[in-house]
A and B are shown apart, each in its own frame.
Chain A
Amino acid sequence: MRRLLKGGRVVDPANGVDGAFDVLIDGDRISRVGRDLPVDEGVQVIDVPKGFVVVPGLIDMHVHLREPGQEHKETIATGARSAVAGGFTAVACMPNTTPVNDSASITELMLKKAAEANLARVYPIGAVSRGSQGELLADIAELHKAGCCAISDDGKPVATALLMRRALEYASMFAMPVIDHCEDASLKGDGVAHEGFVASTLGLRGLPAAAETVMVQRDVTLAGLTGGHFHLAHMSVRGALRAVREGKSQGFPVTCEVAPHHFVLTDTYLESPIQYDTNCKMNPPLREQADMDAMIGGIVDGSVDVISTDHAPHHSDEKLQEFDRAPFGIVGLETCVPLVLDRLVHAGHISLTRAIELLSVNPARIIRRPGGSLAEGQVADITVLAPDATVTVVASKLRSKSKNTPFDGWTLRGAAAATIVGGRTVFINPDVAGAATFA
């Protein structure tokens, strides 16, 4: 089937496109992008409503889908539903499931569940070490062959400098990035909140910024040593950003991502509006203002490659606990686009083009998967944005199986209107007027 998205603004940074263009989809591929394309017989014409923007499908390269093993929090199907509801056409899911995704059989199970859900594309990330125990390398060639797009022991750091060195060297055979959750275990201790004034007054054990920075410095150094691609997961502190900039200036293969909560919230949200709000507990923790400002600075100047959500669903029973007992993490797939548009684009920090680089072009490039471009012949993964639509986040209405968001009740300007995966519309936002056009 052929569909023509007619008359909308198209922003396609990979091809230098920003303007009024038509996009012709043929089956699951992009057929043509051009001005005033002819309407052939049998083509379904979709008149893109004024103000909507057609962009390459958004890719979240850092999510936790919890299946297998923790299906009470999320499944691959509910996670994929949440992804497309947030405007994401593809997600890369971390291997800290139960059991850990350190073998082809787990990867294949994930891909099978994703195919059954038939919503967003799901790219499993394999473990660096067997069982993510930080000792022996996982069967990385097998994981690569089964379809893993990267390796990571996320949830934990790659335990030792030697293991990280070996992982970078070994994975370079397959051009797979090693994604590291950087946090020195001894400095981290049993901390639960950013070490600083707020944690001190609340009596919460601190997670020092230096715990992140020292391991980023280690990994940047090792990327230089090995030439292997180190991708820093969920960067949150200014010291880590300095280390990344230093690595990039040396020409080392280093990339990094920032999660929306780290450019929108600071640790003061632990005090108000809800004291000890476990929906503001994540790892890395909400940092202080200077760190948040630095993250925005890195997003603006190009030091930051990717915005990814670290979507971490947890059941409400698990979050309704004492702060230090509640698990780390918040859901993020359905709040990311409104936060990026409202707090970065409308706030004047970045252009829409830059936002699409961060949310689509760069993640596709880093995990080496299709998308990130509306070039002819590319997969027809398309997100339609309504940058001026005003939406209110309602936690209970999230499509994710879990509702653990600190943004409940927030009104934001900008949303995903529709999500198209492989030429097929998989989500229409009922809260955005005009979105039904894409049915």
Chain B
Amino acid sequence: MTMSSSRPRESDAVAEVVVRADVPMTRLKQKHLLGIADLSPEEIVLILDTATAMQEIAHRPIKKVPTLRGRTVVNLFFEPSTRTRTSFEVAEKRLSADTLNVAIATSSVVKGETLVDTALNLEAMSPDMIVMRHASSGACHLLSRICKSKIINAGDGMHEHPTQALLDAFTIRSHKGRLGGLKVAIVGDLLHSRVLRSNVLLLTKLGADVWLCGPPTLVPPGIERLGVTVTSNVETAVADADVIMMLRIQLERMQGAFFPSLREYFQVFGMTEERVRLARPDAIIMHPGPMNRGVEIASEVADGASSVILEQVANGVAVRMAVLYLLAGGVEHETAA
């Protein structure tokens, strides 16, 4: 099988985007995707609708469209990541972008180079987009001020992980048909979670009723000002919920005296089948991964009929394709090419 003989009809995916995008907006106002905070509800819906079109590509025998042919995307990962990095890479390849993976272990950072110098060196090779994961909150904002490339935030410190929230919203919408009015319970380490912050921003923008639950030691001060309800009673949080979203408990948090033991954490906050029964019968169970089975979630729940955890992973590719496509210029770019 060669590229030339197997090339799909190039305009398929794009045509579908145009047809399915029944919102007035057809492109993003933002140059970068730094966080959900910068997106309007209309832009979020545009990304989700575009992802619906992109999802179809995964079901074709030839999972590739030429949309980003000739574009270079750098995946700059300063933190270990399996799911997000591979998801972006698959998305980029399905859109025919040239991808370049730069991981911290092989980069100059270990030689003491600053983030700014690393970025400027990569820029000298004229990439179109940089997808970055970094341990420092705001690292992508710094990059966006010094780079000409478009920046996609693949997770910055404890700040945001916008594509995770978008794929979570996509998954919820595909099951519930909407986001507005749903009760979403998010349970776990709220303080250190960038997934939490992006999800709160997105879900509240689209009108969901968001409940946060965790021990008071792991609640970001003032977070209720974002229009969410905070409780440390997990039964209250999940009661009649449409969606239960679990957050990872990092095993080293015990050292910071955030909670006494993993055993006690599971007793108080772990998502068991008994607790899931308090939610609506059609509730879905989500987790951004990687999971700690038996710590924040029982295996029976993670693998149960209500779990959509692997679906989230599959949807991640479609959502990231949508983001790449829209940031590259969307419809307008394609006609120019």
Contact = CB atoms under 8 A, between A and B. Distances in A.
Given A197-B225, A276-B142, A202 B136 contact: no
Do most interface residues of chain A lie in helix, strand or loop, or is the interface mixed? loop
Interface in B192-247: 194, 197, 220-223, 225-226
A202 B134 contact: no
Contacts of A437: none
A200 B223 contact: yes
Interface string A310-324: 000000010011111
A154 B197 CA distance: 35
Contact of B156 (A196, A203, A205, A321): A203
A280 to B, nearest CB: 12
B221 A320 contact: no
13 contacts: A199-B221, A200-B220, A201-B37, A201-B197, A203-B157, A203-B158, A275-B138, A276-B137, A317-B114, A323-B138, A324-B136, A324-B157, A325-B136
A322 B221 contact: no
Interface in B138-154: 138-139, 141-142, 145-146
Contacts of B157: 203-204, 324
A118 B280 CA distance: 78
Nearest to B143: A322
Interface residues of B, number: 26
A176 to B, nearest CB: 39
A203 B223 CA distance: 11
B70 to A, nearest CB: 32
Nearest to A189: B256
Interface in A321-380: 321-325
Nearest to B220: A200
A381 interface: no
Interface of A: 195-197, 199-206, 274-276, 317, 320-325
A390 B193 CA distance: 46
B137 A323 contact: yes
Given A196-B222, A201-B197, A205-B158, 15 more contacts: A200-B222, A200-B223, A201-B37, A203-B137, A203-B138, A203-B160, A203-B197, A204-B159, A206-B221, A275-B141, A321-B114, A322-B115, A322-B136, A322-B138, A324-B137
Contacts of A274: 145
B116 interface: yes
A187 to B, nearest CB: 12
Contacts of B37: 201
Contacts of B222: 196-197, 200
Contact of A202 (B138, B221, B226): B138
Given A201-B226, A203-B160, A320-B116, A276 B138 contact: yes
A322 B142 contact: yes
A133 B23 CA distance: 63
Contacts of A206: 221
Interface of B: 37, 114-116, 134, 136-139, 141-142, 145-146, 156-160, 194, 197, 220-223, 225-226
Closest 8 pairs (CB-CB, A-B) = A276-B138, A203-B159, A197-B222, A322-B136, A203-B158, A200-B220, A203-B137, A323-B138
Contacts of A321: 114-116, 142
Nearest to A200: B220
A314 B226 CA distance: 35
A322 B139 CA distance: 5
Contacts of B220: 200-201
A261 B226 CA distance: 27
A199 B137 CA distance: 10
Nearest to A206: B221
Given A201-B226, A203-B157, A321-B115, A276 B221 contact: no
A188 to B, nearest CB: 13
Nearest to B37: A201
B153 to A, nearest CB: 11
A276 B138 CA distance: 6
Contacts of B146: 320
Contacts of A199: 221
Contact of A197 (B156, B158, B221): B221
Contacts of B221: 195-197, 199-200, 206
A324 B139 CA distance: 9
A322 B158 contact: no
A207 B3 CA distance: 56
